Structure 1
């Protein structure tokens, strides 16, 4: 939502943790009028891990259709949504009240309500809550940040990076911090997310453009934009999106990779991992590592240097003990 627009209505409804996580992943808009609402999920009671809630902020009084659509998002509850007129409150500040700063490897992710961390070798990234997914507080984004940090620890160096489904731009910015001389292209299917990412880039002193050391932000459905074909092959590709697009994009991502390309995938649940691994094995990738954040695995794969039958990667006995294993 553009700066200066005051959101005057808030609709709240209890939900389950699974529903909250699904909403965060979907970045789902439920507009029934010209108003585009913003959905914020929150843990309602830390002592009850499954008791979550959603808050929907909008700049027009919700109509019956919107309320009905909101109720459909959380089928587990029979409660009626509460409606509150907010007056002149700042929706960004309100939606960020529950977002505490967090550490993920050498990254410190915070909102503009919290100061950066003045610590050596720490990369501060400021991302405010808004109309794009990826403040760093979801397990999928945390897993990707830690995966990038691990690659840096291993001494990996990348010169041509792609971030598919960039959301707020957070992962592209993190890659820029780690490999400041790389060319980075970051895309999202949602033009709102692209504009949010541009705003966040300015706030974080990230250079935008086509040159080395800069991040190019653009709207694209997967890798359909000609910019990807011109820039490919990439030596590092990141995709933190939903499991459906992850599977369907496997051929496109494989075409944009080269032997030895590292691929970081997130946005899937534990039980969806076999389908994703299988799709990318068929596209020529080998699984090299899994990092588990709650029920959300983050996969690290590598494009095979030789083709033919790909042997499956042996998994640890307990997924809860899974970390990185093997060499990328």
Structure 2
């Protein structure tokens, strides 16, 4: 990314703009948007950053302005130096705890405590280092599911990013067949490198992780590996809603699904889509502004 547009406004307005961007099936994939509070002591004052690969023209400016209902806030433009912003944003970040899991970058030492599972996930061009509320919330939810007696024999992590959630699920259910998929080819080397770093066995046998690049659930390998009794999908609200029927077809009766990547303000629509697809809510976690949902598929017949 070499250019950035920035807008400031109330939290509700900025969150709504971010949600409209996520839900737009025809959105410009060359536009990457993030939103966050200006300062810890100003929780209702937010900023929206829009990263672009080239200097935005009027059409792209108008596309950003169209995300706001009513009058759009003022947009400021900044040229950025050539930098790997994912790597830079993760340098020196502190480790996190999520349930029994401790997730760190190579800059930090492993946490050697009884009952603690340590994962090292370096900064990479893939989402899911554990430091985002959705990823950490999924790890916490998986840990809670294990403690509540869930047993998983066939696991899928859809939109895996770095592979972290698949790694966590494999630790909790070590004899399961585990499958990870993503539609971004960059995730394949990231997952393979992270698996080696964390001593995650690769392959198709029980206790091993199979990785595939696939767009959605209609991939032959995913079809062969289904049905899953645990499916994890940490993506975005709009594709979660769109893929509810596909996920329902891939999950076994009484199987479990963990959904994340949705803002708390989007939860009702996601839950409605999955209730219609045959799931019922088991538990939910709110982590920051994000919802993490555990649902179970109803038994048909």
Q: TM-score, normalised by structure 2?
A: 0.80
| Counterpart Cα distance in 1 of 2:48 and 2:274 | 35
| Counterpart Cα distance in 2 of 1:164 and 1:85 | 31
Q: Alignment length, in residue pairs? A: 285
The answer as to 2:30 corresponding to 1:30 is yes
- The 1:163–1:139 alpha-carbon spacing in structure 2 relative to 1, beyond 3 Å, is same
The answer as to 2:152 corresponding to 1:158 is yes
Q: Which has the higher strand share?
A: 2
| Counterpart Cα distance in 1 of 2:118 and 2:142 | 15
1:74-130 Cα shifts (integer Å, max 9, x gaps): 9755222143367xxx86763323622111101111111122211111111122233
Are 1:103 and 1:109, in contact at CA under 8 Å, matched by a contact in 2?
Answer: yes
Any stretches of 5+ residues in structure 2 without a counterpart? 66-71
1:210 corresponds in structure 2 to: 204
| Counterpart Cα distance in 2 of 1:100 and 1:220 | 32
Any stretches of 5+ residues in structure 1 without a counterpart? 1-8, 32-37, 308-328
The one of 173, 176, 187 equivalent to 1:179 is 173
Are 1:107 and 1:125, in contact at CA under 8 Å, matched by a contact in 2?
Answer: yes
Matches within 5 A, 1:266-305: 266-305=260-299
| Counterpart Cα distance in 2 of 1:234 and 1:13 | 42
SS at 2:170's partner residue?
A: helix
1:192-224 Cα shifts (integer Å, max 9, x gaps): 123322222122111111111111111111111
SS at 1:262's partner residue?
A: strand
Are 2:6 and 2:48, in contact at CA under 8 Å, matched by a contact in 1?
Answer: yes
Are 1:67 and 1:81, in contact at CA under 8 Å, matched by a contact in 2?
Answer: no
Matches within 5 A, 1:1-328: 14=6, 18=14, 30=30, 45-49=39-43, 50-51=45-46, 63-65=54-56, 76-84=73-81, 94-97=88-91, 99-306=93-300
Alpha-carbon shift at residue 238 of structure 1 (Å):
0.7
- The 1:242–1:123 alpha-carbon spacing in structure 2 relative to 1, beyond 3 Å, is same
1:140-185 Cα shifts (integer Å, max 9, x gaps): 2122111100011113221110111111111111111111111110
SS at 2:262's partner residue?
A: coil
Are 1:14 and 1:51, in contact at CA under 8 Å, matched by a contact in 2?
Answer: no
| Counterpart Cα distance in 2 of 1:211 and 1:163 | 16
1:315 corresponds in structure 2 to: none
| Counterpart Cα distance in 2 of 1:84 and 1:254 | 45
